[in-house]
Amino acid sequence: MAVLETVIAQVQTYVGTLAGIRKAPAQPPDQMNAFPFAITYPSSGRWEMTPAGSKTGLHNIAIEIHIMRKDLPRDFDKALDYSDLLPNLLFLKLKDDNKWNFTIDTFAAISYTFGPLGYGGFETLGFRFIVENVKVQSAVI
């Protein structure tokens, strides 16, 4: 399994435990009919060669939380719950779950955008979190 694939699978395992999240699949599906749901994917990054012959990756990982948009005031409140829930979970797991179950070394910060999203032809509302500079080290093979 690729390094990023392992990290993303671990994030989705964590996100799937958040209150209210109905689905957090390992890979983004074409369609989704269970809301709220979360998808995670690499958004950007870079690899650097280290003197010891290994490589260090600094990746930005996107996590989207989608709420089905039916009743804007209610959906707005529901979506805002994740503004603290997701960052708290990821920081806690970095500290208390051995750096995301030994998949990363650290990360720098979590930024976000909030507002209208869409998925599989549905209008949704939610967050796009970016976990910045997720540091992983692996062998050059």
Q: If you average pLDDT over residues 21-37, what whole number do you get?
A: 92
pLDDT at 1 over 70: no
Domains and CATH numbers, the chain: 3-27+45-139 (3.30.2000)
- For residue 73, give every residue at least 6 positions away whose Cβ sits within 8 Å of its Cβ, in sequence order, or none: none
CA distance 113 to 131: 12
pLDDT in tens, 80-135: 999 999 999 999 999 998 899 889 999 999 999 999 999 999 899 999 999 999 99
The model's pTM is 0.93
| pLDDT tens digits, 51-76 | 888 999 999 999 999 999 999 999 99
